[in-house]
Structure 1
């Protein structure tokens, strides 16, 4: 594994902190959260072992800060997807293009999976993993309703894991077919407005 750009000297403490944090996120993405240690971070960031504890009080503190940084990266990717959701039920092509960029980016996929794994094992971090999903569901719900939005978000979670486990992620045609099907599914839990009584029924009840 190549090292991160050499950390600045002692006169640039913020630069050293950034280098340590970059190294931590890189380890999480490439090797998983469990591989994060002070020694591994110090080696990758080219800083002394003592520097890692100087800027982060514990390995848990460093891991949580790194995971928050990765969650921020994922949040930013939502900004490029949001403008393409309005017509997802009739013309999903623009949204599919953005989703493809997401699942074809190995770093993003691994970061997302790392967040999922951390959230299932550490309740303290549980709000991090679904943050992107919740925002995406809210945006989609404005156009296709909550049930369809949630179905698409769950599917995209699966597509992300699929991309992490397979050499080839889902392709454009597969994503397009799935999104069209999910966006157009019947709203089985939709409530129907109560029927107003007609003259005949009103007369029947009054008898």
Structure 2
């Protein structure tokens, strides 16, 4: 477990770095990855341009940090869902919440697709895919089905970005029950 940061300067630096990552995600949500620049992100965060260049030596470093941040957050959430309760229902509710406010989801998938072009970014996306497959393994030992579930969830989320009518939690639950039936 990580030790809590007690040094005020380090804590302030971590907060600034996180604020820049959040600003990057807002810029991507609004303008796409192509809209990310040091000045734009700094302005979005309310910091001088020197802040982004202090914490991130290049735009690639900034995009890597943003992708890593969202993939780690999503992976942790998926791992928590794997640990008990009504797993499919809990995931269905989460997916329905995510698609209701699609801006963040759009930013995440822009970064996710960027990893397809930049192999060094795939470590972050691999964590998300592994967490989804681990969730699937709560219902099946079949590695092929687990990969299909991961692809289906990403596909459903991407499709939701293309439609005005977003799937409800009940609809997501039906999809998940079809993909991951109860063991017999």
TM bucket (normalised to shorter chain) is 0.7 to 0.9
Deviation at 1:160, TM superposition (A): 0.8
Which shifted more, 46-55 or 105-114?
105-114
Q: Which has the larger radius of gyration?
A: 1
Structure 1 unpaired stretches of 5+: 1-11, 186-207
Between the aligned partners of 1:13 and 1:177, the Cα distance in structure 2 is 45
Mapping 1:7-156, distance limit 5 Å: 13-84=13-84, 92-146=88-142, 147-156=144-153
How far 1:36 moved relative to its partner?
0.7
Moved more, 41-50 or 74-83: 74-83
- The equivalent position to 1:157 in structure 2, one of 154, 157, 171, is 154
Change (3 A) 1:51 1:99: closer
Q: Sort the Cα spacing of 1:142 and 1:175 in 2 relative to 1 into closer, same or farther, 3 A.
A: closer
Off by >6 Å, runs of 4+ in structure 1: none
Distance 2:95 2:15 in 1: 33
Equivalent-residue separation in structure 1 for 2:138 and 2:17 (angstroms): 41
- Provide the secondary structure at the position in 1 that maps to 2:137: helix
* Larger RCO, structures 1/2 (Cα 8 Å, 6+ apart): 2
TM-score, normalised relative to structure 1: 0.69
1:7-55, CA deviations, whole angstroms, 9 ceiling, x for partnerless residues? xxxxx55544343333223212333222110110121122222332122
> How many residue pairs are counted as aligned between the two chains?
170
Bigger fraction of residues in helix: 2
Does the aligned pair in 1 maintain the 2:92–2:169 contact within 8 Å?
yes
CA-CA distance at 1:173 after TM superposition: 4.1
Distance in 1 between residues matched to 2:56 and 2:74, nearest whole Å:
23
CA RMSD of aligned residues (A): 2.7
